Amino acid sequence: MNWDLILQGIYILAVIATSLRIIWDTRSHSKTIAYLMLVIFFPIIGMIIYFAFGVNYRKRKIYDKKLFQNKDLRSKLEKQINSRSKDILSDDTNDIDENNKLVKFLIHETLSPVTANNKVKLLVNGETKFPEVFKAIESAKDHIHVEYYIFADDEIGCEFVEALIKKAKEGVKVRFIYDDFGSRSIRKKQVPRLKEAGVEAFSFYKIKLIAFANRINYRNHRKIIVVDGATAFVGGINVSDHYVNKRDTGNDKKEKKKALFWRDTHLMLQGPAVAYLQYTFITDWNYCSESTLAPDDHFFPKHSKIPKSESKIMQIAASGPDSDLPNIKFSLCQAIHQAEEEILITTPYFIPGESVMDTIIMAANSGVKVKLLVPAKSDSKIVDAAARSYYTMLLAEGVEIYLYEKGFIHAKTMVTDKKLSIIGTANMDIRSFDLNFEVNALVYDEEFAKELCDVFEDDLKYSKKIDPEKWMSRPKHIQLIEKTAGLLSPML
């Protein structure tokens, strides 16, 4: 019996079967081609990588525990959302006509109402965010809901844990969701401490076999805090010492050299918009805890009226492998498409994919000034190389690209026409669009947009603008490496 021939036949059948599975199961054409190349040119390893990271579990409903399983209740909610949103959209004093299509898309696709009467505070960097967070936690009377991708076992993480334990011992109901991959450092020590103190803590999508688990591919990248249903926090800042820039790092020269300035952006919200972040948390909670936390009134309290001069109109966009459409990607595309004058984008990882690239290029060619702010150096060399493979095309179309050099810029923000601001957890990359559970806040307000524009302009002071001519004349071997990395971008 010729075993070599039999093994070759088995291998060929395995490649054909895997290739057919890729073609049938993968929604993105670029991803399909990338995985086919991987399977064909890297025998065995390519198939292992595909089945570990590439299988489309979105089709297999990895997350199907919705808050409103009762169809009548969901129908009633839809009517209320449409009615309330219609009142705001029909108010002539609200300057959101140019965002009408974006607003309606999020209402229809994500059940996210457009709300007024919101107070919004911009929090720049961790040293601004955490004092506000601890103040809100200390004021809690009924419940605290916390959900994070990275929750580190370090100084700020321990301070956060102590704050939660203190409130739990006071009788406040504390619920805590941590991503099993991003927050793996707290599994053995801090999570047991929280549970012992009465905090209900659950990991999101527990990882059992890290080396080959597809579960590592679908992560909860959200950063949400909701206190008493009245105050909420959302944005790019995780719970880690990295995000807190200390003025004095000690006398140790090595320690000072290691300290990296971390630029990030977060929001503190009060008002009706908090309800959708609460809704998002409870749906995640019901999935992680395998229980049913009902949407009781104390989770969604009535908010007091605030002066119209302070009121901001808002929406929340959430998406992940549980959503039928990549809602965050589509909302960003719509925001870019409707811009008429200026688009300011800040993102730590820029791997946008074809549709977002096309939308940006269309805007630039329509006379819209587009500025893109990215790190001069991120925390991944291969991601850097893949991102740079997109720069050449953007520069050729007149997009201005700035490299942030003061430290690592981790903020995920966009401002269009100094009217619409988007701040959240989603990077402008394929992973955030298709694989991660993400959430963004949209603020339809000129005054707030001006504030975020000022932050963007301040960041440019510490950035270097790419010269298109010099960029195009870089060594060919470097450009080849970047283009090669770009081929892998659907898998990064």
State the catalytic residues: 221, 223, 228, 410, 412, 417
| Residue 157: C-alpha distances to residues 152, 153, 166, 426 (Å) | 5, 5, 14, 22
C-alpha to C-alpha distance for 65 and 292, rounded to whole angstroms: 9
Decide the pairing of beta strands 413-416 and 420-424. Answer: antiparallel
Rounded-to-integer distance, Cα 104 and Cα 91, Å: 15
In this structure, are residues 244 and 253 in contact, taking their beta carbons and an 8 Å threshold?
A: no
CA dihedral 221, 225, 226, 230 (to 10 degrees): -120
Q: How far apart are CA 201 and CA 98, in angstroms?
A: 42
295: nearest Cα among 73, 137, 38? 73
Long-range contacts of residues 85-88, Cβ cutoff 8 Å, at least 24 apart = 85/113, 85/114, 88/114, 88/115, 88/116, 88/313
Which has the closest alpha carbon to 220: 293, 147, 327, 328? Answer: 147
- Residue 414: strand, helix, or coil: strand
Count Cα neighbours of 347 within 13 Å in the Cβ-side half-sphere: 25
Compute the distance between CA of residue 422 and CA of residue 314 in angstroms, rounded to an integer.
Answer: 10
Q: What single DSSP character describes residue 47?
A: H
Contact 360, 387 (CB under 8 A): no
What is the CB-side half-sphere exposure of residue 41 using CA atoms within 13 A? 6
Q: How does strand 400-404 pair with strand 350-351?
A: unpaired
372 phi/psi in degrees, rounded to 5: -120, 125
